[in-house]
Amino acid sequence: MVRVRVPATTANMGPGFDTIGMALELYNYLEMDVIPSGLEFDISGEGSESIPRDETNVVYQAAVRVFEKNGDEPTGLKIKQENQIPASRGMGSSAAAIVAGMVAANELAGGKLTEGQLLELAVAMEGHPDNVAPAMLGGVVVSAVLDERLFYRKIKPPQQLSMVLAVPDFTLSTSIARDVLPLNVPVKDAVFNVSRASLLVLALIQEDYQLLGQMMDDKLHQPYRVNLVPGMQAVFDAAKRSGALAVALSGAGPALVAFVTDKDKCKLVGQSMRQAFSQVGVNCDTRHLAA
Ligand code: HSE
């Protein structure tokens, strides 16, 4: 039997669309074991009521890809999922399921695939790397897919950075949040993002919090997704007024993430985000999470 722990992730971090992601101290746990035949599931925690207990289960499908790649089909599998990551909220729950399934299956199969091979399989399944990469490696990961090859580097998260996540009580599917994006964007918007994403990476490496706070705006995805998250701009404004350095849509949303350097301000930032959401009739839970 193997047991793995996979973190939640916040992808994009503003301008780094499909490129930059950060692991958060909130985890899903998975136990996997080979059994003589069939498939057994024991699923509890966040989203457990709607997670399939059959061959369409994402953890199972991810594991199968690894077993197939190894040429090693197990007789049967027992899968136990204990989930703490809110499902379909923009905190990497599907990436966590994929990574957990792949890492566990690889261990059961004797650890034949390398980290890079596993990550490429995970990216192929998820479609973009910015959640699966930090889910597998931890920390902040910057990644690029070139001709199906994945290039990635991990950055140590800045020590003083805390994240306050405002997690609304509704779900948003990533495919819906991607369908609202335009096929083409103006060059000036692309330059807006390339310049900010580049400086954001430097700010993260150099722990330059002032620069980090100034480089989190985005014009490639957030403006198109604003109507999917009622109150998004008001929550951004409220968090900044309460002392957040910057605020972003977490992944494809609907969770919003505020970046804070002074831990004492996290409570106030969370309260102001909850209040701004409540003014448009959205209930949300706030969580203060370290990287
Ligand atoms: N980069 C992705 C997006 C993350 O924003 O659509 C969500 O999975």
What is the pLDDT, as a whole number, of residue 159? 93
Segment 231-245, tens digit of pLDDT = 999 999 999 999 999
pLDDT, residue 71, reads 86
CA distances from 130 to 100, 138, 174, 265 (A): 16, 12, 13, 28
Helix (H, G, I), strand (E, B) or coil at 56: coil
pLDDT digits (tens, 9 = 90+) for 199-223: 999 999 999 999 999 999 999 999 9
Residues 244-279: pLDDT tens digits?
999 999 999 999 999 999 999 999 999 999 999 999
Task: Say if ligand 1 is within 6 A of residue 174 CB.
Answer: yes
72-104 per-position pLDDT tens digit: 889 999 999 999 999 999 999 999 999 999 999
CA torsion angle 284 285 289 291 (round to 10): -40
Q: Does residue 251 line the site of ligand 1, with CB under 6 A?
A: yes
Select from 123, 221, 226, 249 the residue to mutate for testing ligand 1; criterion: most ligand atoms less than 8 Å from CB: 221
pLDDT, tens only, 106-158: 999 999 999 999 999 999 999 999 999 999 999 999 999 998 889 999 999 99
Contact 219, 202 (CB under 8 A): no
At residue 81's C-alpha, the angle toward residues 3 and 162, to 5°, is 85
User: Both tokens of residue 56?
Assistant: 């369409």
State phi, psi for 25 to the nearest 5 degrees: -80, 70
Distance CA 145, CA 273 (A): 34
241 and 234 Cβ atoms separated by less than 8 Å:
no
Task: Say how far apart CA 46 and CA 41 lie, in whole Å.
Answer: 15
Exposed e or buried b per residue across 161-171, where buried means at least 16 C-beta atoms within 10 angstroms of its C-beta? bbbbbbbbeeb
pLDDT the model gives residue 148: 81
Atom of ligand 1 nearest to the CA of 90: 7
Rounded distance from Cα 76 to ligand 1 centre (Å): 33
With a 6 Å cutoff on the Cβ, whether 130 touches ligand 1 is: yes
User: What's the whole-number mean pLDDT along residues 164-182?
Assistant: 97
Confidence of residue 192 (pLDDT cuts 50, 70, 90): very high
What tokens were used for 8? Answer: 């939640």
The residues with which 150 forms a beta bridge, in sequence order, are 145
Residues with Cβ within 8 Å of residue 130, at least 6 apart in sequence? 9, 11, 12, 16, 17, 18, 19, 20, 21, 141, 143, 251
| Per-residue confidence (pLDDT) for residue 30, from 0 to 100 | 98
Rounded to an integer, the average pLDDT of 30-57 is: 97
pLDDT of residue 73: 85
- pLDDT at site 255: 98
Measured in Å, residue 174 CA sits from the centre of ligand 1 at: 7
